[in-house]
Amino acid sequence: MAKGHEYLSVHLGFDQVTEHEIAAIVLLLYHAFGPSKSKPMDESSPIFIALQNEGVKRYKCIFDNNNKQMVTDFFQDDFIKKLWEPVIRPNITFKHCFEKTESPNPDIELTYREISRIMKDDFNLEMPEWWTDRFPATPFKLSKK
């Protein structure tokens, strides 16, 4: 937890870092500290005490087994919004997004554009400029088939 505090206060310059934020950054950066399918979360651990079950789900399980509500909770979370500009947005790179395929799938370009719209309109989070230049937001919410 000390490294989490150092990262937030020294490297990012956050003032008055809370136990919740420290536990959250530890789970975001060091997934091994959270629960897994074979290892439940120790409820006496400082991470669990700070975040409780919902927080552990939000910051750890979002990467393991997410659903629409979990994604919404994650991107609407105050701490994620606080991290967006200094940490998350700059690390959304073309290589990171398309490393396995080497290029975006043209068959789902409308999906990429919808991601731009959702991030901006629903979560008030701007995607990186390279992303919005390539995938401008759809002008309206796409209807489900």
41 lies in which domain range?
1-65
pLDDT band at 143 (very low <50, low <70, confident <90, very high): low
Q: Which tens digit of pLDDT belongs to each residue from 97-106?
A: 888 887 898 8
Q: What is the average pLDDT across 11-38? A: 88
In a domain, 58, yes or no: yes
In a domain, 83, yes or no: no
- For the whole model, what pTM was predicted? 0.85
Greater pLDDT, 133 or 39: 133
Q: Which tens digit of pLDDT belongs to each residue from 29-79?
A: 887 777 777 888 888 989 899 999 889 889 988 877 778 899 999 999 999
In a domain, 142, yes or no: no
Output the CA torsion 58→61→67→73 (10° steps). 10
Q: How many domains does the chain have?
A: 1
pLDDT band at 145 (very low <50, low <70, confident <90, very high): low
In a domain, 55, yes or no: yes
In a domain, 116, yes or no: no
